[in-house]
Amino acid sequence: MPLETLKRSLAKWPTSQDADPAQALFDLRDEISSDFDHASLVNVPGGRWAVVSKPLVTASRALFLVYSAESDAPNLATMVRERGEWRLQSLKFQCPGCFGTGELTGSSREENQPCYLCDATGWGAS
């Protein structure tokens, strides 16, 4: 089940910005997908992680909302089915530029523009 894999991943997640990325990848090796987004490792919780949603599941993907104990901003955990097992593909914070909408609000003279921080996805930063 994707929730169990996600919980194992979050329990092994780095807790400091100073954590060695190579060590983190080694620790997470049994939980992450082959195309794991390494940029996710900069997402360090302020306290413990908490999964706060039921998954949105398709045939090969499951999405969860996850919060850090000391933050009001949601995080999106993406799980993928790989070789018959659920694996963590990414853990991205809600974009601080567009607040998850994917668009930057324009002035009265301009239309909304795609968010350049998250490539209009609403999650993470590129």
Sign of CA pseudo-dihedral 37, 63, 81, 14: positive
> Is the pTM above the cut of 0.75?
yes
What does the alpha-carbon distance between residue 61 and residue 55 come to, in Å, rounded to a whole number? Answer: 9
> Hey, what are 8's tokens?
């194992």
What pLDDT does 110 receive? Answer: 65
pLDDT tens for 57-85 read 988 999 999 998 777 778 999 999 999 99
